[in-house]
Chain A
Amino acid sequence: MELADRAIGLLLSVISLSIFTYYTLWVIILPFVDSDHFVHKYFLPHEYAILIPVYAGVVLICLISMFVGYVMLKSKKKKA
C-alpha cells in the first residue's frame, strides 16, 4: 500500500503548494498590477483574501472544540 501513501502525499503537497502560490499572488503581487489587466478576472475581490482564511480558522476552532466536548461527554457518561 505504499503507492496509495505516496499518492496521498503527492496530493497533499500539490494542494499546499497551489494554495501558497495562489494566496501569495493574491495578497502581494495583485495590488501592483493595473486594475484593467486580464489577470484580475482569475482572482476574487480583495476582501475575500481576508475573509476566507479567517472563516476557515473559525470553522477549524469550532470543529476542534466540538470534538473535545464530545470526547469529554462520552468519557463522563461511561464513568457514571
Chain B
Amino acid sequence: MKHIVKIMALLVALSAIWISLLQTSVLPESYTWLLPLYSIVTLGCYGLLMVGIGLMRFPTCPQESLLLQEDIVEAKGFLKEKGVDIGSD
C-alpha cells in the first residue's frame, strides 16, 4: 500500500508544478499546455534509446559459451548413466 501512496504523491506534486506554471505564466501558455505530452513522448524516446544502446553493447562471452556446452554434454552423460531420461537429443 505504501508504494502506491508514493506514486500518487509524485503525480500530485508534478500536477501542482504544472498548474502553478500555468497560473504564473513563466512560460508562454501554449508551451505549458503541451508540456505533459512532450514529457511523455520524451520519456518514450528515452526508453527506446536505452533499449537500443543495451542491445548494441550486449556482451556474448564466447569462452563462457564453449564452457557451457561442455558442461551440458557432461551433465547429459552423467544423468543418462544414472538412468534419468533427458529426452531432446
Contacts of A19 in B (CB 8 A): 41, 45
The answer, yes or no, to whether A58 is at the interface (CB within 8 Å) is no
Q: Give the tally of cross-chain contacts (CB within 8 A).
A: 65
B40 within 8 Å of A by Cβ?
A: yes
In the complex, besides A5-B58, A11-B52, A12-B52, 20 extra interface pairs with C-beta distance below 8 angstroms are A9-B53, A9-B54, A9-B56, A9-B57, A9-B58, A10-B56, A12-B51, A13-B53, A15-B52, A16-B46, A20-B42, A20-B45, A23-B41, A24-B38, A27-B34, A27-B38, A31-B30, A50-B37, A53-B37, A53-B41
> A residues 1-26 with Cβ under 8 Å of B?
2, 5-6, 8-17, 19-20, 23-24
Main secondary structure, interface of A, reads: helix
**How big is chain A's contact interface, by range?**
20 to 34
Please state if B52 and A9 are interface contacts (CB–CB under 8 Å): yes
Report whether A10 and B37 are in contact in the complex, using a CB–CB cutoff of 8 Å. Answer: no
- A49 interface residue, CB < 8 Å from B? yes
